[in-house]
Structure 1
Amino acid sequence: MPPTARTIAVIGCTGFIGRRIGAQLLARGDRVLALVRPSSRHRAALPAGVEAVESDLVANDPRLTAALQRADAVVYAAGAVRGRTLADFLPANVQGVSAVAEVLAREAQPRQVVLLSSLAAAAPELSHYAQSKRRGELVLTAAPASLPWIVLRPTAVYGPGDRELRPVFDLMRRGWMFTPGAADQRLSFIEVDDVVRAVLAALDHADAANHGIFALDDGRPGGYDRTTLARSLRPAGRMRCVPVPRGLLAGIARINLRLAQFCGYAPMLTPGKVREITHPAWLGDNAPFTAATGWTPQSDLATGTRALFG
């Protein structure tokens, strides 16, 4: 529990992780301001009790300044995960962070910002998404030293409300594992409520974790290989492993990229995403964040997916 109730501004409160952050902040007695764009169609997704505040994420928007001045701390959970070009990712993943940092840095005593980044930021050369996430982090590292900030880099996040990993896990529970990576690839995962608890821990231990960048996963040493992944999702019964040639996946991604350009949609599967999902290892390291805040993950993959699927 926080020592006293605070007002927390949450940017991205209508998203998969942001909604749960807002709900948990309210549950422990904090007040929550959700900054939403005037054109947002997702206000109905806000948890009951959250105050919606209209603002564009630009530093010269007086509504952004006014909203942040009401807050004791800021959680930046907004993010773009789909896009065709780097420019598609910049507004949410970089420019919004820059606007918030600029407004906060103007204050005599700047308020803390917790940035929800991604483990992909550790390898920015892989994709536009990864590069944009790293550039968002660099906004904070380049900010005045007086601005308190913490960056969290969760690995692949799953849980209630997730639309990306759930279908993959569902197939695996039915006995089908598609494996685009190398045979010795190691992956890590983290349940959404463990991410939320990490955000709250960052808010409550601002001094101990200040100016830290923390890579988080569910704590399984060495992550998951194909065998442990299969056992976690399907402890009993046969798992059929279907290798997916990287060249085939890359070809599909290139076609999808062209279709996205022609049809005007934001693609998920792109050549950059293929490089991400075939990367040899995505692993967190909880020890530094645990030492600073006391946070530890509560769910491994087997426990988290059992709760997810019931």
Structure 2
Amino acid sequence: MLKKTVAATALLLSLGVAEAATNPLFAPFYTADPAVLVDGGRAYLFTGRDEALPDGKDYVMHEWRVFSTCDMVNWKDEGVPVKAKDFAWANGRAWASDIVKRHGKYWFYATVEHATVPGFAVGVAVSDSPTGPFTDARGSPLVTNDMTKQTDIAWDDIDPAVFVDDDGQAWLYWGNTVLKYAKLKASMTELDGPIQVLPVANFVEAPYLHKRKGTYYLSYSQHWPEETAYMTGPSPTGPWTPQGVIMERNLKTKTIHQAFFEFNGRSYVAYHNAELPGGGEHRRSVAIEEFSYRADGTIPFIHQSKAGPKANPSAGCKH
């Protein structure tokens, strides 16, 4: 029965639509590091693609994929909007990304390995459509490993998260071991001022900033294996109040990478585990949970489920 279910899902994806979505999503692909953009009555979910063999010992990731939905149940495979090698200065490695819409364009911030500067770097690509194609907006990286000296590891400049505040100021957060952030200029392709460091106990990676009813929520992965925790504050720079753990660590992979979003009046978090058949440390799978904020605005502990979110269609939703 399991083989039949996976095969049926694969056929539907090949046709561009997956019916009756359940967690994890997007079989037969292995996907990781979700980023979500809500635009025009659709949610666009960007993922890296894990291509490691079953016995693989490292991440094999060459491209980002995008899937879209207008009801949180039926997903359309929109294909590959950008690949790591679309950044001509990169060796490859399509690690975690994030996306935002501004000035009528779509800005995609991505982790890749630099070809000449040792270590990982952050690039930015741009498109007129959320489904791409995206092109390198700078022709050079926005952040390189030699710009940050807080650690001597090659992967401390990963997991970019972009946020545009109500006043129009854009911010970029990123890091491994050390959480870093900076303002972005209106061009979205330049840092506006120095790189700042935010001391966070037990921080590992995956910073993500979102805002709700005047409160800023800074979530991230902590400890190893990772669990999801968050803090709240009155501004993009804090001061921050720790609020605790909101999602447990995974059983089959040490990583877990979250993205919060609102869609049609409901609240969701995307993340990854490794629960598809054949999944593992380097063969992960994106999933989504619906949740409700408490009356005081805090986020409850969110349990991973196999059911996934219920239908929540936009007006005039067409798959």
Q: State if a TM-score over 0.5 links the two structures.
A: no
Q: Whose Rg is larger? A: 1
Output the TM-score relative to the length of structure 2: 0.27
With normalisation by structure 1, the TM-score equals 0.28
Would you tell me which structure has more strand in proportion to its own residues? 2
